[in-house]
Structure 1
Amino acid sequence: MTEQMWDLAASWGTEERMNEIEALMWRSENHPRLSSTICSLMLFDTSPDWDRFLAAHEWATELVPRCRQRVLDPLLPVGPPAWVPDEAFQLDYHVRRTRLPGEGTMAHLLEFAQTQALAPFDRTRPLWEGTLVEGLEGGRAAYLLKLHHSLTDGLGGIQLMSLVQSRTREHTADKPRAEPRASAHPANQLDLTTTVIAENVRRLPGLAGRAVAGGARVLTGRSNALGEAVRYGSSLRRTLSPPPATPSPLLADRRGTAWRFQVMECELADLKAAAKLARGSLNDAYVAALLGGLRRYHQRNGVDIEDLSMVMPVSMRKSDDPMGGNKFAGAYFAAPIGIEDPVERIAVLRGIVLTLRVEPALDTLSLVAPLLNRVPSKVGQIAFNLVGSAAELSASNMPGVPHPVYMAGARVERVFPFGPLPGVAVMAGLISHDGTCCIGLNIDGDAITDLDQFMECMNEGLLEVTSVVG
């Protein structure tokens, strides 16, 4: 690990409090309908050395204190929860080992993963679990890492896993050790509550002063604040309005209680080539493939559809931001599912995404979250459910490592991401890993009952896009 990587790793999850978005996901969770569990499934070419595997996690949890911290809620909803050390932390509770029965096929592995993902976290412990799964066909193994979304977003999860991965199979000796950090944590819920109330009281004069100064600038005409407010209001109306797409009759029965994990993959170079041909991005080509598969699924079931309501997480991270945490916004739009030409579909998506990224009110949820966090959690659950149910498809894209990596002597061959189902019928995630696009699908089994037919259509949609060049 380079000195720069060491500095970044040491800053992973150093905030002492949740931000407002993380607090909203934590307080509004209502399992399984409003679950905030995210997973990544790594496939190994062989079984890792168990002792080295455990030692790597021991080292990483010392390096990243967040992995040994639990959540402390205030007695009243006056502010976000705090992260405090779990004095009873046990590594063997969080890192487990199991063996798949039978032939150990990929289908068996995905069934195991979706079952584990649906099990809620113990909210009194650190919010992560890792399970080494052995007994896969061909002598291979897998690792299921399960995180609560209040810990981090998908990109932060990839950063976390990079800390325990190596560029070689051999053991890395003399790894740098974490220095003890002096940090004051609230002793209990009452201590946290009084501290947060005092902080809120101290902020009031500053907030009032800024409001008065802003009003004065508008009245004296020395600022274009009024025009900016009008533009922001127009953007707010666009971002808060439901996507202008007719709901799909095939995806209407969405309850989010039956998770079905499926995977697809393709060569990274093929997806990039398709994107380049249409002057789009890798993400545009990826979303175009998903839409192509969904269009086929509707056609096979006798449904004509032109647009599909969709949400796409947009990373708000800056290059110098510390690792970990949640820094994203959700962009809602009507996806052009009815365009049959994949190149045209990619190009249209490029225009839509570029427009969404410059919306002033893109990060609206960050403005609303503080209000929802200070009312009874049931109100937050209702709002969260309305936001999630506004779309039928969610798709995210995260860059992984471009080179081979290993864990405890086993090579990581694939990394598939799986997000929760916040009201959507399909939650799709893509990680590019060592030249391969690994796509994980979490599918609402209540909305899509014929899984074989659905996956046949989705794979055809991916092949349609990756085949446009050559």
Structure 2
Amino acid sequence: MNQAATPPVGPPVGPPVGPPIRPAIERMTGFDAGFLYMETPAVHMHTLKIALLEADDALTFDTFVSGMLARLKRLPPLRRRVVEVPFGINHPVWVTQPRIDVAHHIRRHRIGGDGSMRELEKLIGIIASTPLHRDRPLWELHYCEGLEGGRVAVVGKMHHALADGAAANALLANVTDVRTAAPPEPVQEEFATTDRLPSRLNLVRHAWADAAAQVLTLPELLRRTLRGIIGVVRARRAGASSPVPVLHAPRVSFNGALTPLRSFATVTLPLAELKRIRSQHDGATLNDVVLGTTSGALRRWMADHDERPSSSLLAGVPVSTDERDAVPRLGGNQVSNLFTTLATDIEDPVARLRKISETTTHAKEIHSRLGASILVDWSQFAPPRPFAAAARAYSRLRAASWHPAAFSAIVSNVPGPREPATVGGARLADLFSVGPLVDGIGLNVTVWSYVEKMNFSLLACPDLLPDVHVLASYFPDALAELDLVRPAPGAAPEQRNIS
């Protein structure tokens, strides 16, 4: 076999010279591949990034496309496509190709109606309702014209297997220009490329070699897992408590088997307001305030729909497992999940936030004791074909409606750019992001901060939660509920009451 024609899978051999070069063909991690295995016709594993650009005479669809193509060297993951291993004997590989099909990946739309944000949200729901094609790199850009005020929306659709929130932030840094006196050097990774796909023989040979190497890590992983379980037991005996997925999750209408349809809504709240309210509650974090706000909005929505679950809703909260000072990544996933209460069974908003804060603190301790990377490490041993077949059967049988969901909603908070940025000279006015839904969980609330805003994006399955825009409209009042400094009833506007 001609090795030059079919480059080997795996890391490069020998010490790097100059900038690190990642291979043209590289094994996917089990965790990244898991997002492929979970995908079904009704469960789409892509994320959305929405950039609103101010009107600029120089910004046209053609200049946008040419600008993106000019920056592709700084976005190497966007040239990576998935190649399955024969017989599913190991996880697929990424193949980095030198060219992309521009017409397939970058598409043009005209926003209908009055060009309002609501009309854009409807279009985004349609974009979110179709899966990405596996035979191309797993991303699309949708250039949406006709937004009120002459603005343009760019909707990025990227598979979760390609990047998590932290990696997406690094990718964003490579397409934006931050206006500072000394802008940081953008993150870059060098990839080799290949025009040829690896042969089946090469794929099988390296799949077995990588699997054999992976088995050698199993004894140490078992030891770390045992230590983690013992640590969790000790933490719980010491008083740390957090909800147990499935066991503590109540049944609500937006938990059930997903259909392919998606709906989308947004709401923006001032970052300064969330920080001010956080400072009023001892021990609360900004993320606790996000959870408390989500809780208040969901309580009102459930009251509207006459839903009164017997226990609190639970939140699945993605958390980054990157080291604090790690070099930013342009791709891949380093994320785990913790589970906490939304305290929706508590009427008083202050007591509700206190309960959320206490439970989330315990959940973080338990998560730390278990080990942030345990889930990622065990996913390496997930058998590709059985995993994917089980996910498809589960979705086809609508089995998520047979039992309580693991938790009620996904709630994520990702720090975004703190300075105003431009894209190709056009000012980036706003930035929104949302992750995928998983089967059984019909609501995802993702918060990305941008400069002094906290932008909440809500993705829902409309067959489970038909009025996501109504739920989004409840977030400002839900935040106001947590404010300890509010006008007393009947008081003059200048009077303030602290309770």
8 Å Cα contact 1:49-1:409 kept in structure 2: no
> How far, CA to CA, are the matches of 1:12 and 1:131 in structure 2?
29
TM-score (norm 2): 0.78
Question: Within 2, Cα distance between the matches of 1:292 and 1:77?
Answer: 45
Q: Deviations over 1:39-68 (max 9, x none)?
A: 011112215344542233123321232211
For residues 180 and 371 of structure 1, the distance between their equivalents in structure 2, rounded to whole angstroms, comes to: 27
In the alignment, does 2:305 pair up with 1:301?
yes
C-alpha change, 1:73 and 1:288, in structure 2 (3 Å) is same
2:9 corresponding residue in structure 1: none
Aligned residues: 446
1:223-262 matches, within 5 Å, as: 230-231=230-231, 241-245=244-248, 247-262=250-265
Q: Deviations over 1:404-463 (max 9, x none)?
A: 111122211111112221121210000110101111001221222344543443443234
Judging by fraction of residues, say which structure has more helix. Answer: 1
Shift of 1:26: 1.1
Deviations 1:124-156 (A, max 9, x none): 111111111111112111110000000011221
Which amino acid counterpart does residue 136 of structure 2 have in structure 1? R
Q: Is the 8 A contact 1:246 1:307 kept in 2?
A: yes
The reply on whether 1:348 has 2:365 as its aligned counterpart is: no
Q: For the Cα contact (< 8 Å) 2:50–2:155, is it kept in 1?
A: yes
Report how far residue 271 of structure 1 moved: 0.5
Could you tell me which of 419, 433, 448 is aligned with 2:450?
Answer: 433
What RMSD, in angstroms, separates the aligned Cα atoms of the two structures?
A: 3.7
SS in structure 2 opposite 1:331?
Answer: strand
Kindly indicate whether residue 220 of structure 2 is the aligned counterpart of residue 194 of structure 1.
Answer: no
Preserved contact between residue 427 and residue 443 of structure 1 (Cα < 8 Å): yes
Q: After the TM superposition, which residues 266-345 of structure 1 pair with which residues of structure 2 at under 5 Å, given as runs? A: 266-278=269-281, 279-305=283-309, 306-318=311-323, 319-323=325-329, 324-345=331-352
User: Counterpart of 2:459 in structure 1: which amino acid?
Assistant: N
Residues 414 and 433 in structure 1, CA contact (< 8 A), matched pair in contact too: yes
Q: Deviation digits for residues 161-195 of structure 1, max 9, x if unmatched? A: 121111359xx9xx999877489997233312211
Q: Does 1:57 align with 2:64?
A: no
**Which of 113, 120, 145 matches 1:134?**
145
1:411 corresponds to: 427
The 8 Å contact of residues 22 and 192 in structure 2, kept in 1 or not, is answered as no
Alpha carbons of structure 1 residues 466 and 256: separation in structure 2 relative to 1, 3 Å: farther
**The one of 360, 366, 382 aligned to 1:372:** 382
- Which residue is 1:31 aligned to? 41
Output the TM-score relative to the length of structure 1: 0.83
Higher mean alpha-carbon deviation, 396-405 vs 413-422, is at: 413-422
Q: Equivalents in 2 of 1:154, 1:265: separation in Å?
A: 19
1:94 paired with 2:105, answer: yes
Q: Please tell me whether residue 158 in structure 1 is matched to residue 175 in structure 2.
A: no
Change (3 A) 1:307 1:178: closer
Q: In structure 2, how many angstroms separate the alpha carbons of the residues matched to 1:191 and 1:345?
A: 57
Q: Is the 8 A contact 2:259 2:463 kept in 1?
A: yes
Farther off after superposition, 227-236 or 360-369: 227-236
> Residue 22 in 1 paired to residue 28 in 2?
no
Quickly say closer, same or farther: Cα 1:13–1:310, change in 2 above 3 A: farther
Cα shift at 1:349? 1.8
Q: CA deviation at 1:209?
A: 7.5
Distance 1:398 1:211 in 2: 29
Kindly, what percent of the aligned residue pairs are identical?
Answer: 23
CA contact (8 A) 2:96 2:191 kept: no
Unmatched segments (≥5 aa) in structure 1: 1-8, 215-223
Structure 2, unaligned runs of 5 or more: 1-18, 487-495
Distance 1:181 1:437, change over 3 A: same
Whole-Å separation in 2 of the counterparts to 1:467 and 1:256:
41
**Alpha-carbon distance change, 165 to 466 in structure 1, aligned in 2, over 3 angstroms:** farther
Distance 1:336 1:368, change over 3 A: same
Checking the alignment, whether the CA contact within 8 Å between 1:21 and 1:366 is kept in structure 2 is: yes
